[in-house]
Structure 1
Amino acid sequence: MAWIGQWIMVSLVIDGLDQVRIKVGGTPLRKGANDTPVLSAVSLLEGVTVEGDTAFHVVATHGDGHNFLRCAKLIYGKAKHLLLQPNGKGDTPLHCAVRAGNSQMVSQLIDLASQHDRSMDSSDDKTVKDLLRKENHSKETALHEAVRFGDIATVKKLLTYDSGLARFPQEGTSSLYLSIMLDKNVIARTLRDMSEENVLSYTGPNGQNALHAAVLRRKEMTDMLLKWNKSLSEQRDNDGSTPLHFAHFNQTMKDRYPFTSLRLQDNRGYTALHSAVEHGYLRIVCSLLGNKQVFLNLTDKNGQTPLDIARSKIPTGNFYGWVIYFISTLVFVFEKGTYKKRYIMHSSVPVQSMAAFGGIDFKRSIYPPKTSEDESKESQILSDSTQTLAIGAVLVATVTFGATFALPGGYRADDHINGGTPTLAGRYTFDAFIMATTLAFICSSIATLDLMYSGIPMVNLPVRRKHFAVSVFFLTSSTTSLVAAFALGVYMVLAPVDRNTGIAICVINPFVVLYRNKGRLQDLCVLAAPLYIRMGLWASFSLTKDILSGVLLECWPLIIIFGWAGYTTYCRHHR
């Protein structure tokens, strides 16, 4: 029998003719005089829905009130085998009842199985265990459903009937692994505490165990599992990865656990540091760098060290390499007992440490021969990027040009001795304002000219890259100058009447420049601690120098702006 509907309500009534009447939402197969389908008990209960659900599945899913419990009992009385019969997904009625949260129905189904065992004089509760341990097509028991929905009451109920249930399935995803993945710590503890002799399955998909999942979650879970079973730390999954290799995915992990060697390598020869660098997780890289037990120079099966992998991630072959050149981090490489300076350009993981390169030819691997198709794509990227940046460059040039001839404070009247000149001329802030607008206009104009060259397809591609890089540098400098001009202009107007507000505006404005560089500043701050651990104060001094160099590169317009204002003020007072 098959029926389709948005809802299904089953009501069974046994009459003296041993027939079953069923009311369903949808289209019945056969109707009686009162539009109620009347079928024999056998033919009715053997039917299934299009999903493969029997009447037992329907009743178990849609409620656990008195009528539903009675229906379940009546169905079992007519067709006991349906209690263990799976639907199209392999789910038994017990799977459906647990998934729907029908706790009374769950108890009813288990009680029915217990009645069968008692009637068969079964001392080992075979039917109950068969029902509870029945796996669906996903290799999951009803216990998995209870864990998934966080129904700890049902978890306890199932384990009460079968204390060995958490051992199943013996291969695949265990209920413990699922509870760890779902961050359900209380359920995980319940599974172990209520299991016979605290024995349960730790298995997970792809040969993993529960510890592989725990290191992706919280430290408390990891510590808990290690107390239960220390051997989990040495087990490898089907790819040869231990739980330590999985730890690099957890970006919030701060400490490396002492439960296993930090130098283990998977079947690719990757250590945890290799994996963290490959995925660009800077915080995990820094956490590993901060532990002196981590070897930085172990090579994988291709002879690559973590630093080699970092270099292989450089987006060369396009103009990004030139942009990154201006913001690249100086890497101090420890080779053969001597420090050597090398530049590494990496957009997400500036690996700065005492690490060595492997022996492979990176000149060829990082700069592979380019095809005409590669150059065509790079040319298109340059053209598209040029159009976007050109809008900003022209906008800055237009604003600063207008600001130069619409000065704060206005101009002196024509009958004045210096008629037509700015009223605020001769002040320190005015000189700084004029220099700021001038630099903003010059830098944005240079950026516009370079963007024009970088966007012309007929120009040689390497030359276009250089022009684009120069345009980015001057465009950022023009932004810095524009921010300074705005702050100085507002301060000139407000200072005579509201000096405090003018100062507050000047203090707030630099946050625009800081926001533009927040990513690099955050990375350098994260990098400081592991560098100090590895290389001492010398590394701190070097990092400080790098930071100051970056600040100088970003803020050179401010030096000229306020330096010029100071010079003119000095000249006026010493004439």
Structure 2
Amino acid sequence: MVLEWLGNNLKPQGAEAGQGDERHAELLSLLTTQRDKQQKGSTPLHLAASLNGWPAARRLRTWFPQVWVGSRSATRLLLDANKSTAYQADSEGSYPIHAAAWSGSLDAVKTLLRRCRDCATLRDCKGRTFLHVAAEEECGNVVEYICQAPDLSSILNAQDKDGQTALHGAVRAGNVAVFNCLFRNRQVRLDVANKDGMTPLDLSWNMLAARFGYGFDPINIIRLSLEHAGAPHGGGRPELFRERHWPPKEANVDSKESENYTQATQVMSIVTALIATVTFASAFTLPGGYRGDGVPVLAGSYAFDAFVLADTLAFICSCLATFSLVYAGVPSTDSYMREKYFNASEVLRHSAQRSFMAAFALGLYMVLPPLDRATAVTVCVVVSASLLRENTYAWRYTCMVNTVRTRIGIRRFLARDYAQEMLFHVLVHFGSYILIFGLPAIRKRA
């Protein structure tokens, strides 16, 4: 509205048009280049380009367009008024395109690049391009757009003052989606080292210094992707690299790791003890009750045999997991042994959880069919869906392998490792189901 008012009401007409045009342009330049001291010297274009950075900005723009202007439209109007503001940095050296990338305003980024193509190469005070900012701030839509634009390939491997590329920033942020956008682009180099001599693979290892952690943590997925793709290390002597970048094993580091194990075992032991208590009780209160001679009413059926096996496996695995957690939670035990016991309890706990849920579904399936068979089938479907939701390891590993395949193509070692990992996953994570549903079927056929 302000720009329209300036154009329609302040622009002189007639004989004074020539001199008035200069005053009008001067006033317009003054307004569009004026800095806000409380906003780090931001110009109106900085503020407009970063509008989408506010929470729920897209919904506000959709529901209240008369109140909350869109980042794209505001950026376009200001560029029409004064194109030179796209090259005006704030007090910290950030340009409007950096502000747009930080807030994930893809429409503003496209508008700036369409009007001022060389904005792509602008650097802030840290030597970062807007791709660096988008990768570090986990703005996947902006990173994906850049990776798919052939004319922006010149900034894919650009380094800032610390020698960091956008891939370094994605690894440091630990965002798998942003990392995958860069990783799939074969023009993105995996061997670029920063000023400390760390390649993206070195940086991923550096962020995994502690042994305690989740196997499919995002940074671990990134590390595995880089290793499977053959990403190199920075070179030099590995022991010197460790001394320089990996924290030494001091007393406070060991005590922190010991505290993590102790807290984790306390939480997990509650779950395993609860499963053991419930399965112990259900073993003596079987579904369907007992006859007068003490024989279970439903004994001899396939579902009953499967229920007994599921309940037994859940009880045994939960007890073994609890015993392993006792050893893993003792601070005086060696950290290596604590890690072994903790990992073993994790496998046993997952097996106990699956067997426990299978026993629940089988118990309801035995007592419901005489009344409502459809409800019994629905219960089994719901429990099966929840079990699939719990077992996301295979899906995560498949996505990681597919990402590597996009980068390096189909390789024999990649297919072999994937097949071995999936086979191991099926045997370890679904072995209880094979026993629960397989042994009763074999017994019936025999």
Measured against the shorter chain, the TM-score band is 0.7 to 0.9
- Contact 1:174/1:201 (CA < 8 Å) preserved in 2? no
Could you say what secondary structure the match of 1:509 adopts?
helix
What is the CA distance between 1:365 and its match in structure 2? 6.4
Deviations 1:190-246 (A, max 9, x none): 112233xx4435434321212222334243322221122122111211111111212
Q: Which runs of 5+ in 2 are unaligned?
A: 11-18, 53-70
Answer whether contact 2:324 2:342 (CA < 8 A) is retained.
yes
Partner residue of 1:527?
Answer: 400
Match of 2:220, SS?
Answer: coil
Cα deviation per residue 1:350-388 (whole Å; 9 max; x = unaligned)? 434332222252665686541222222322222222222
* Higher alpha-carbon deviation: 161-170 or 431-440: 161-170
Residue 436 of structure 2 corresponds to: 561
**Partner secondary structure for residue 254 of structure 1:** helix
Is 1:400 matched up with 2:276?
no
1:224 counterpart = 2:131: no
- Please tell me whether residue 215 in structure 1 is matched to residue 109 in structure 2: no
Which residue of the partner structure matches residue 165 of structure 1? Answer: 31
Please report how far the alpha carbon of residue 478 of structure 1 lies from its aligned counterpart in structure 2 after TM superposition. Answer: 0.5
Q: Is the 8 A contact 1:427 1:569 kept in 2?
A: no
Q: Is the 8 A contact 1:278 1:309 kept in 2?
A: yes
CA offsets 1:479-526 (integer angstroms, 9 cap, x no match): 0110111111111112333222212211111333333344x5664465
Alignment counterpart, residue 85 of structure 2, candidates 187, 200, 203: 200
Counterpart of 1:3 in structure 2 is none
1:177 corresponds to which residue? Answer: 46
Render the CA deviation track for 1:136-158: whole Å, top value 9, x for unaligned. xxxxxxxxxxxxxxxxxxxxxxx
**Superimposed CA distance per residue, residues 333-356 of structure 1 (whole angstroms, 9 cap, x where no aligned partner):** xxxxxxxxxxxx827764343322
The question of whether the paired residues in 1 share the 8 Å contact of 2:28 and 2:81 is answered with: no
Cα separation, 2, equivalents of 1:275 and 1:402: 53
- Normalised TM-score (structure 1): 0.63
Distance of 2:349 and 2:244 partners within structure 1: 33
Q: Residue 490 of structure 1 aligns to which amino acid in structure 2?
A: L
Q: Structure 1: which amino acid aligns with 2:291?
A: R
Alpha carbons 1:211, 1:243 under 8 Å: kept:
yes
Matches of 1:242 and 1:444, distance apart in 2: 53
CA distance in 1, matches of 2:88, 2:111: 16
Query: Do residues 357 (structure 1) and 233 (structure 2) align?
Result: yes
Counterparts in 2 of 1:442 and 1:316: CA distance versus 1, 3 Å: same
Alpha-carbon separation, structure 2, partners of 1:511 and 1:232: 49
Partner of 1:436: helix, strand, or coil? helix
In structure 2, the CA distance between the partners of 1:472 and 1:508, relative to structure 1 (3 Å rule), is same
Corresponding residue for 1:155?
none
- 2:161 aligned with 1:267: yes
Deviation at 1:292, TM superposition (A): 1.1
Judge conservation of contact 1:303–1:358 (CA < 8 Å) in 2.
Answer: yes
Aligned residue for 2:389?
Answer: 515
Q: Which residue of 2 aligns with 1:236?
A: 123
Give me the identity figure in percent.
34
CA contact (8 A) 2:190 2:232 kept: yes
User: Letter of the aligned partner of 1:354 in structure 2?
Assistant: G
Query: 1:200 is paired with a residue of what secondary structure?
Result: helix
Alignment coverage as a number of residue pairs: 399
**Residue number in structure 1 paired with 2:58:** none
Deviations 1:412-469 (A, max 9, x none): 222xxxxx22222222111111111111001000011111112223333322222222
Partner-residue secondary structure (3-state), 1:406: coil
Structure 2 counterpart of 1:375, from 233, 247, 254: 254
Given candidates 134, 144, 150, the residue that maps to 1:254 is 144
SS in 1 for 2:346: helix
8 Å contact 1:382–1:455 — kept in the other structure? yes
Question: Which one of the candidate residues 357, 362, 365 is aligned to 1:483?
Answer: 357
Q: Name the residue aligned to 1:16.
A: none
Letter in 1 for 2:43: S
**TM-fit CA distance, 1:558:** 0.8
* Counterpart-to-counterpart distance in 2, 1:482 and 1:535: 42
1:412 aligns with 2:291: yes
Residues of 2 paired with 1:328 and 1:563: CA distance? 33
Match of 1:280 among 134, 155, 174: 174
Which residue identity lines up with residue 531 of structure 1 in the other structure?
V
2:208 counterpart of 1:314: yes
How far 1:540 moved relative to its partner?
Answer: 6.2
Give distance in 2, aligned partners of 1:528 and 1:453. 35
More helix by share: 2
Q: Is the 8 A contact 1:254 1:287 kept in 2?
A: yes
Deviation per CA, 1:297-328: give whole Å up to 9, x if none.
221122211111111111524x33xx53xx58
> Quick check: 1:444–1:475 contact (8 Å CA) kept in 2?
yes
Identify the residue that residue 190 of structure 1 maps to in structure 2. Answer: 77
Which residue of structure 2 lines up, in the alignment, with residue 148 of structure 1? none
Letter in 2 for 1:244: L
User: Using the alignment, how far apart are the partners of 2:222 and 2:183 within structure 1?
Assistant: 16
Q: Is 1:302 paired with 2:196? A: yes
Contact 1:447 1:471 in 2 (8 A): yes
Structure number with the bigger relative contact order (C-alpha 8 A, sep ≥ 6) is 2
Partner SS for 1:510: helix
Per-residue Cα deviation, 1:71-122 (whole angstroms, up to 9, x for no partner): xxxxxxxxxxxxxxxxxxxxxxxxxxxxxx9x9xx99xx99xxxxxxxxxxx
With the length of structure 2 as denominator, give the TM-score of the two structures. Answer: 0.79
- 1:553 and 1:365 map into 2 onto residues whose CA distance is 39
Question: In structure 2, what is the equivalent of residue 506 of structure 1?
Answer: 380
